[in-house]
Amino acid sequence: MKKNLLMNVLASVCFLSACSSSPPEPPQIDEGAPTVYLNNQVYRQTSTETVAKNAGDHNDQPWIYQYINLNRDDYINETEKVRFFYFAHHADSIEIYGQPARTEAYKYWLQANGVSANISTHRKELLKNNVNITFRRGVKNDEKAL
């Protein structure tokens, strides 16, 4: 019993003595020391204009792909984004039909995401905020794809 009491008192004293000690003072900054710049590199933003393209697709055959009645505030459904941007980045020309404000918004969005194809906008009476987009590769506007 005396042994337990002695151990408890000793543990309490050790615990309390550790709590009463204060942390060491932080080192002081020498204001007179010369300034050292750790990052001397100029920030360079990488261009998004170069997107790797799969040149072997479609066996060099011309193609046309259309999206009809797009009307989302976030432009395209999440599940369609990969396919949409595949066609956008591989197309020679893109035609966007709809109300001018909406077609210009799509054009800006495509260009901001690195699409380098020739993008033309055309006024067409569709439902509010709807657009039709035609992607073409190797096909002129008046021709049909195979």
CA distance 109 to 102: 11
- Quick check: is 128 in a domain? yes
DSSP assignments along 47-79, one per residue: PSS-----TTGGGG--EEEEEEEE--TTSS-GG
- Quick check: is 80 in a domain? yes
Considering only residues 95 and 42, tell me which one the structure prediction assigns the higher pLDDT: 95
Using the predicted structure, report yes or no on whether residue 56 has a pLDDT greater than 80.
no
- Quick check: is 91 in a domain? yes
**Maximum average pLDDT range among 5-9, 76-80, 84-88:** 84-88
What pLDDT, in 10s, does the model give residues 13-50? 777 666 556 778 888 888 888 877 766 565 555 555 56
Using the predicted structure, report yes or no on whether residue 146 has a pLDDT greater than 50.
no
Considering only residues 139 and 145, tell me which one the structure prediction assigns the higher pLDDT: 139
Mean pLDDT of 125-138: 87
- Quick check: is 44 in a domain? no
Using the predicted structure, report yes or no on whether residue 144 has a pLDDT greater than 60.
no
Q: What is the DSSP letter of 29?
A: P
In the chain, % of residues over pLDDT 70: 75
The predicted model scores a pTM of 0.59
Residue range of the domain that includes 94: 60-137
- The answer to whether 107 and 117 are in contact (CB under 8 A) is no
- Quick check: is 74 in a domain? yes
Kindly indicate the confidence band of residue 135, based on its pLDDT and cuts at 50, 70 and 90: very high
Cβ density class 87-102: b for 16+ within 10 Å, e for less: bbbbbebbbbbbbeeb
- Quick check: is 64 in a domain? yes
Number of domains, the chain: 1
Kindly indicate the confidence band of residue 145, based on its pLDDT and cuts at 50, 70 and 90: very low
Considering only residues 57 and 81, tell me which one the structure prediction assigns the higher pLDDT: 81
Using the predicted structure, report yes or no on whether residue 70 has a pLDDT greater than 70.
yes
